A and B are shown apart, each in its own frame.
Chain A
Amino acid sequence: MEPAEVMARYRRGEISRRDVLRLLSVVGLSSAALPLLGREASAAEELSMVIWEGYADPSFAATFEGANDATISATPMTSSDDAFARLQASGGSNFDLVSASNDVSQRLIDAGLVQPIDPSRLSNYNDLYPQFQKPSYITKDDQLYGANFAWGPTLMIYNSEQVTEEPTSWQALLDETYAGKISTWNAPIQIAQYALLLDSKPENPYELTDEQLAQVKDLLLQQKPLIRTYWNYGDELKQLLASGEVVISDAWPYVAVGSREAGIPVVEVFPSEGVTGWSDSWMLTAGAKNVDLAYKWMDFMIGPDGQMGVLNNNNYAITNKTVIEGLDEQVRSDLRMDNIEEGYDQILMWRNVPNYDKWLQVWQEATTG
């Protein structure tokens, strides 16, 4: 290969920087060529992202880092609103990627904090189930804004040693029996979950009238004296369960898996009123600095290694049809993936809430006051 051709292939991403350097060092040119390779030449490229916990776990992210000579710098978020505020603070330039859920994705697009992506640059894109290829929550003006890679419910979990009678309703989070041992996630979107407990259950828990919001607020105020503390991070809730401060809470499967690994007898329940849930997509921020690497990460995360990583580490359902079909039958049915369309619809999926400013106010007044 001529040196010029080597450089051209490097720029197209067909060969890695490491290969170029190895090649050049053979002819004793590496020091002379370093400036040509750009700023990445001095150190591994750093991909920065704001994520839900577990989405860049070393158990699978290390594979990506090794293959691309990159380092990942991941900041966990406490809620979708937290992620939005972090991106808003810099106009979407302090992170390359965000693992946005379907309640905030539309807001991120409208605020111009994320940019459209080109699915032809994702080799695993066509393996996604059709419903995850171009879902409405990451589409605007027929342009795609993200790679949908994981989804799941916000369940109820409890410590089976402390809670002996299996709870079947969200009412358990307002039960005096567990006073001082209850926690709930500190996120305004949880209003939808508590709306499921209203006497006249709303058709759609994401479209609540002022009156219904006031009723939910009453429920939350009634619950407040029973709450030990509101949890912000999943790892925080794991800690609360491990130290015995909390015996019952709402949680993501991530918390249940992690707690069981730590030897705490945590059981998940799908309460009779139904569950809310989320569908998460990698979105490219408007000011992303490492666009090529970000595409590689998105592709990795909808491909076999990333999908299995999220499944094993977080116990979340995934979106790649080929990977799902290769799974053990038990795993598929546990995570509602044996019939994706039906399984997905069993969960009341988050969405952009029209009167969200009121939700924020209700949540803050009820939990902070």
Chain B
Amino acid sequence: MVAPLAILLVHAFWSVDYLTIQRSFMLENFRTLLTSDLYGRVLGRSVAIAAVVTLIDIVLAFPVAYFLAKKVRRHREVLLLLVVFPLWSSYLVRVFAWKTILGTSGILNTFLLWTGVIEVPVSAFLYSKTAMIITFCQVWLPFMILPLYTVIDRMPNALLEASADLGATGRQTFWKVILPLSLPGLLAGSLSVFSLTLGDYITPTLLGGPGDQMIGRLVADSFGMSNNWPLGAALVLPVLLIVSILIWGAGRFGALGRTAS
């Protein structure tokens, strides 16, 4: 587990001269990252998109998880299976499916034209941040629903009933009881969705517009196009750093959540 990361770290301090990698320690790559405004801008954009996707998935996943855990009595397994079902198809297939839905002559535009909501096809659905966010939210949603379902399922009904008996409104029960108790699952799901989005380059490449590319694309291009492995390795480090800090932070919060219960 550690070896690949070590190789990555070492590469980040090397450089490329025409065709060969110069194996001498230098901070050249990091200077490139800091002096060119490209990398900071793309990293900032990536973090922002990942955060938006995570928030949307929390809002979408919470009712589904609560419904599955507390309201469904029969066929729960079948419904859970339906949540996981999309994961059985290839990631690429799901991304391409969105392409056919969101295209200028795609399903969504055809439908809106048919209903008369719009007069001309909307081109902004595809090759835009909107397209990327919709797709990310859909493909990573199961990773948010499942951990939330697990914590809510284990939540004793007695606590919810006690809260109601003591006069709390539904809203108060949600904010004071359900949400704090769901925190470990919420953090686990958010970490998954955030990291999966932050590092992705396929969805931006296929569905993003010219100004919407994310940090994963720059990393992929460093290896697959520029043949500059050291720069690619250096680009990965800030991403790893961000994710590590989040995992560390979530670990602390998770521990707090346990003592509270």
Interface residues of A (CB under 8 A from B): 79, 81-82, 84-85, 88, 107, 110-111, 180, 188, 224-225, 227-230, 232, 243-245, 357, 360-361, 364-365, 367-369
Given contacts A85-B225, A243-B104, contact A357 B16 (CB under 8 A): yes
The answer to whether A368 touches B223, judged by C-beta atoms less than 8 angstroms apart, is no
The answer to whether B227 touches A81, judged by C-beta atoms less than 8 angstroms apart, is yes
The answer to whether B217 touches A368, judged by C-beta atoms less than 8 angstroms apart, is yes
Is there a chain A Cβ closer than 8 Å to B199's Cβ? no
Which residues of the other chain, A, contact B225 by a CB distance below 8 angstroms?
79, 81-82, 85, 188, 360, 364
Listed stretches B35-43, B58-66, B67-75, B188-196; interface member: B35-43
- Give A137 to B81 CA distance when docked, in angstroms: 58
Could you list 19 further interchain pairs (A-B, Cβ under 8 angstroms) beyond the known A357-B18, A364-B38?
A81-B227, A82-B225, A84-B227, A85-B224, A85-B227, A111-B19, A180-B123, A224-B211, A227-B210, A228-B209, A229-B127, A243-B104, A245-B126, A360-B225, A360-B226, A361-B226, A364-B221, A367-B210, A368-B218
Of the residues B213, B217, B227, contact of A88 by C-beta under 8 Å: B227
- Give A79 to B227 CA distance when docked, in angstroms: 12
> In terms of DSSP, what is the predominant structure of the interface of chain A?
helix
Which residues of the other chain, B, contact A360 by a CB distance below 8 angstroms?
225-226, 228
Minimum CB–CB distance from A159 to chain B (whole Å) comes to 13
The answer to whether A228 touches B127, judged by C-beta atoms less than 8 angstroms apart, is yes
Of the residues A81, A107, A228, contact of B226 by C-beta under 8 Å: A81
Which residues of the other chain, B, contact A107 by a CB distance below 8 angstroms?
19
Is there a chain A Cβ closer than 8 Å to B22's Cβ? no
Which residues of the other chain, A, contact B105 by a CB distance below 8 angstroms?
243-244
Minimum CB–CB distance from B41 to chain A (whole Å) comes to 6
- Chain A residue at minimum C-beta to C-beta distance from B204: A368
The answer to whether B224 touches A230, judged by C-beta atoms less than 8 angstroms apart, is no
Given contacts A79-B225, A230-B210, A360-B226, contact A365 B127 (CB under 8 A): no
Task: Provide a sorted-by-A list of 29 A–B residue pairs whose CB atoms are within 8 angstroms.
Answer: A79-B225, A81-B224, A107-B19, A111-B19, A188-B225, A227-B210, A228-B123, A228-B127, A228-B209, A229-B127, A229-B209, A243-B103, A244-B104, A245-B103, A245-B123, A245-B127, A357-B16, A357-B228, A360-B225, A360-B226, A361-B226, A364-B218, A364-B226, A365-B36, A365-B38, A368-B38, A368-B221, A369-B42, A369-B213
Which residues of the other chain, B, contact A361 by a CB distance below 8 angstroms?
226
The answer to whether A82 touches B104, judged by C-beta atoms less than 8 angstroms apart, is no
Which residues of the other chain, B, contact A111 by a CB distance below 8 angstroms?
19
Which residues of the other chain, B, contact A244 by a CB distance below 8 angstroms?
104-105
CB interface residues, B 234-251, toward A, < 8 Å: none
- Give A360 to B41 CA distance when docked, in angstroms: 19
- Give A232 to B36 CA distance when docked, in angstroms: 25
CB interface residues, B 128-162, toward A, < 8 Å: none
- Give A107 to B106 CA distance when docked, in angstroms: 42
- Chain B residue at minimum C-beta to C-beta distance from A226: B210
Minimum CB–CB distance from A369 to chain B (whole Å) comes to 5
Q: Which 4 A-B pairs have the closest CB atoms?
A: A360-B226, A111-B19, A368-B213, A81-B225
- Give A107 to B227 CA distance when docked, in angstroms: 12
Which residues of the other chain, A, contact B127 by a CB distance below 8 angstroms?
228-229, 245
Q: What 1/0 mask marks residues of chain B from 84 to 111 whose CB sits below 8 Å from any chain A CB?
A: 0000000000000000000111100000
Which residues of the other chain, B, contact A369 by a CB distance below 8 angstroms?
37-38, 41-42, 211, 213
Which residues of the other chain, B, contact A367 by a CB distance below 8 angstroms?
210
